[in-house]
Amino acid sequence: MKAAPNKILVIRSSAMGDVAMTAPVLAQVAAAYPEVEIVLLTRRFYEPFFDGIDRLTIHNINIDQGQAHRGIKGLVRLYRELRRCCPGVEMVIDLQDKIYSKLLRKFYRLAGVKTFHIDKGRVEKKYLTAVPGKGKVMRQLRTSIDRYADVFREAGFELGTVPAALSFYQRQRTVPAGLGFSKGAGEVWIGIAPFAQHQGKVYPLEKMQEVMRMAGERWASARMFIFGGGEEERRLAELAVAEDVSGRAVSVVGRFGLREEMDLMANLDLMVSMDSSAMHMASLVGVPVISVWGATHPYAGFLGLGQAMEDAVGLELDCRPCSVYGHKVCWRGDYACMNDLAPEAVFERMVRRLG
């Protein structure tokens, strides 16, 4: 572009993993265009994802039930708030393309501001997740990270390939003091993130416990950290720790804030995760991830930054994937994609990575 705008508004407020995937693109824009100020409309909770990106500020959005920016009146309030707190926005980059962001784009267009939005590839994702025999097409689609970068390219920003590693995230990070111990010489630290938002993306806990058992036998120096969020996941994680025969499993569910969790993840040798935010958090700090996929599939474009397709574990079923986000109820009724996946298949990938 002839002249980059002085200030841009970028919109992406959900979901957690999707917000994390915007970080490498925003980092690339900030590095290539040092004169551009970026205002990111997202939840304040996600701020640690953007540590180290110069000239980026976050404007908090509250669109949950009963919050200040909920509904039409709330969006008008948000727009006026943005115009007052973040004056001089010359371009809007919408990486969300939901109803609320469409309306915000319209408000800004009426004020003479150029807007651009993401192409989520909904049609090709519909073919990818179709029922077998109903036009299903299995092929790798453009990644979400590349789709984010495409919006900036359409807006006139000259961006190359998004780097597969982010050096400023992968600096030496100190283990959170609240953990109570540090990494000993020769220890192998493995993250276990067995939870996800939807059933179609959750590996049965008893099978993951079997993976942990095999890992404990294979690596005598291994410590395994269970990640998650919420009271129910905390309860299940503590149950898994209590039943761990190696005595080297530790639940960190609910113990740390997001920034501290990323600090801990940076000290792992390997993360074992579902198709979830934990995969993307570990990816940002440069940790290899063995990702477990059920109803969803890496072909939809959600594999973590810099992660290898051979580290993605999933059964070859003709019904997979049946969903882009894993929220659809299993049409077979048995969730075979997860229930029939042997723990040995996950463990074998761990051995391949850790040796």
Cα–Cα distance measured from residue 353 to residue 355, given in angstroms and rounded to the nearest whole number: 6
Q: Tell whether the model's pLDDT for residue 1 goes beyond 90.
A: no
pLDDT of residue 156: 97
Contact 34, 64 (CB under 8 A): no
| CA–CA separation, 137 and 324 (whole Å) | 13
The DSSP call for residue 182 is -
Mean pLDDT of the chain: 95
Angle 195-266-273 from CA coordinates, rounded to 5°: 20
In whole angstroms, how far apart are CA 220 and each of 189, 217, 280? 11, 6, 28
Give pLDDT, residue 168. 62
Please tell me the predicted confidence (pLDDT) of residue 106: 97
- pLDDT, one tens digit per residue, over 140-197 is 999 999 999 999 999 999 999 998 877 666 667 899 999 999 999 999 999 999 999 9
**% of the chain with per-residue pLDDT over 90:** 90
pLDDT at 259 over 80: yes
The answer to whether 187 and 224 are in contact (CB under 8 A) is: no
Predicted pLDDT at 3:
80
* pLDDT band at residue 67 under the 50/70/90 scheme: confident
Using CA atoms, how far apart are residues 51 and 28, in angstroms rounded to an integer?
13
Strand partners, 8: 38, 91
What is the 3 state secondary structure string of 250-301?
EECCCCCCHHHHHHHHCCCCEEEEECCHHHHHHHHCCCCEEEECCCCCHHHC
Give the model confidence (pLDDT) of 244-257 as tens digits: 988 899 999 999 99
- Residues 56-81: what's their mean pLDDT? 88
- Tell me how far apart the alpha carbons of residues 20 and 162 are, in angstroms, rounded to a whole number: 14
Q: What is the pLDDT of residues 95-114, one digit of tens each?
A: 999 999 999 999 999 999 99
Which pLDDT band holds residue 213 (cuts at 50, 70, 90)?
very high
Q: Which of 143, 127, 126, 125 lies closest to 135, judged by CA?
A: 127
- Which domains does the chain carry? 7-154 (3.40.50.2000), 185-354 (3.40.50.2000)
Contacts of residue 101, defined as CB under 8 A and 6 or more positions apart, other chains included, come to 11, 94, 117
The average pLDDT across 7-14 equals: 97
Can you give the pLDDT at residue 167? 63
pTM over cut 0.85: yes
- Condensed to tens digits (0 to 9), the pLDDT of residues 11-51 reads 999 999 999 999 999 999 999 999 999 999 999 999 999 99
